[in-house]
Structure 1
Amino acid sequence: MALPFGLSPAASAFLLAAVLGAAVLRGFSGFGFSALVVAVTGLVSDPRNAIAVVLFCEIVMTLQAARGIAGHVDWSRVGLLLLGAAVGVPLGVHGLVSVGVDGARVAISLFILAMCGLLLAGWQMRRELRGWPNAALGVVSGVANGAAMAGLPVAAILSAQPIPPQVFRATLIAYFAVLDTLSVPLMWQAGLVTRDSFVALAFALPALLIGNHFGSHRFSRAAPRNFRRLSIGLMAVLAALGLARGVL
């Protein structure tokens, strides 16, 4: 089977290692997989090549973890996020296909850096945001999902609220699964879903399932704060490298 997107064997091995590490992060924390994989892809190829692939990956990982999260999902919050995302996703997809490769690298890298800064700031709210503010957050998340990065703005806002870790993680995973499923037809129409997208998914599947299983298994045993900060810092470094490549 030919390698997808014209990737070299070295670049393919590099991306498979990134998929494995990102799947561990996602299985553990509930977010970060798409942003990390897209950022790494931007170092060796057009980052837009990874967008449809990571959407399919997110759906697969949710099916793998569904049994363990079902009882913890805040479905009312998920519904409001999706309502806002219905407005934001078409805007994000249109914006992404309107820029060139370097423009996409710069825009994606700047967004990741901004969200990582917000996540690392450690600011906290005294109580949860309920109701329509979640729909407004969904709009922002939907726009970001044009680049398969809906998770970062939602994770940044939800992690600042007094939400139990199990509910935080399960709600993020459920939201991404529904959002990504609804986004695929728009991505297909925009030309972001190709035969190579499915070939890449087939190559990534073993690393994806192993990493997600390991991360989910470690969720109740590791130190969440330290692991999350390390993961966010890694995303920020990769985004900075992608930004440098896009600019230079």
Structure 2
Amino acid sequence: MLADWLDPALLAPGLTAQDLFWAGLAVFGAAVLRGFTGFGFALAAVPLTSLVLPPEVVVPVVMVVQLIIGTGDAVRERRAVDRGVILWLTVGVALATPLGMWLLVWLPPATTRIAIGGVVLLGVAASWRPPDLGDLVRLRSVRIGVGALAGLFTGLAAMPGPPAVAYMLAAERDPRVIRATLMVFFFFTAVAGTISAWGAGLIGRTELVLTAISLPLVIGGSAIGAALFGLGATRFYRPAALIILLATGLTTIIREIVIY
């Protein structure tokens, strides 16, 4: 019975055991990156896994995984967050996530993969050199707009990070507040994304089985990444991680353009 549930061909049309292996390896590698740098799981997992699985399968799985692993983060960091920022960013997310989910369903897979690659590149740019927004960062409308953009990216690619990271780095100087606020915000985006995916009929047996397979890989990979960081990270770890993500985004886009 269990063998039937784990049969690759039954999980997704055309999926092979080799595809499942490479998808698992991509998830594990993304989890190591998350544990080592503190960010980048979806930015790495979604485009890499989408090379062997349809994006409309990958995105809901990553959303559910992030919802589960983000619950503990949200509980631990809740006291250090900027609650005003969280409130209005989350309003924007609630408004725009269903639109992103609709685009995920409507767009052809190749176009979606190119869009995902573009979101990855935006994430790299936002993390490497955030824009200077001046006093605009305090406006409620700007916060809602940033949240809406994050919601759009959540529904389309399970990647709320690029606009949220850029905003927080521009608006806040305390690294602890930035880290805590982003962690709790990403939990809320995972909630919104999972609800939207469920409502759109994108979470079924395949997605739940793949989530169950992914969780041990994510937990183990994150622990290994954290241990590697604890051994003595150098000042080059952040640029190295961003270079990896840059290569991932470019590879995804170039591959789809050449195939298309």
2:237 is matched with which residue: 197, 218, 227?
227
C-alpha change, 1:115 and 1:67, in structure 2 (3 Å) is: closer
Aligned to 1:238, the other structure's residue is in SS state: helix
1:206 corresponding residue in structure 2: 216
2:168 corresponding residue in structure 1: 158
- Alpha-carbon distance, 1:127 to partner: 7.6
1:177 corresponding residue in structure 2: 187
2:64 corresponding residue in structure 1: 56
Please show how residues 1-248 of structure 1 align to structure 2 within 5 Å. Answer: 1-3=6-8, 4-5=11-12, 6-66=14-74, 68-121=76-129, 129-132=137-140, 133-146=142-155, 147-215=157-225, 223=233, 226-248=236-258
Q: Comparing both chains, which one has the higher relative contact order based on Cα–Cα distances under 8 Å and sequence gaps of 6 or more?
A: 1
Unaligned runs of at least 5 residues, structure 1: none
Structure 2 CA distance for aligned equivalents of residues 68 and 216 of structure 1 = 17
Identity over aligned residues, as a percent?
29
Structure 2 CA distance for aligned equivalents of residues 12 and 143 of structure 1 = 28
Structure 1 CA distance for aligned equivalents of residues 86 and 20 of structure 2 = 35
1:127, 1:162 within 8 Å by CA — same for their partners in 2? no
Query: Could you tell me the TM-score, scaled by structure 2's length?
Result: 0.83
Unaligned runs of at least 5 residues, structure 2: 1-5
Choose 1 or 2 for highest CA Rg. Answer: 2
C-alpha change, 1:135 and 1:186, in structure 2 (3 Å) is: same
Structure 2 CA distance for aligned equivalents of residues 23 and 127 of structure 1 = 36
- Alpha-carbon distance, 1:52 to partner: 0.7
Structure 2 CA distance for aligned equivalents of residues 85 and 136 of structure 1 = 9
Structure 1 CA distance for aligned equivalents of residues 231 and 173 of structure 2 = 19
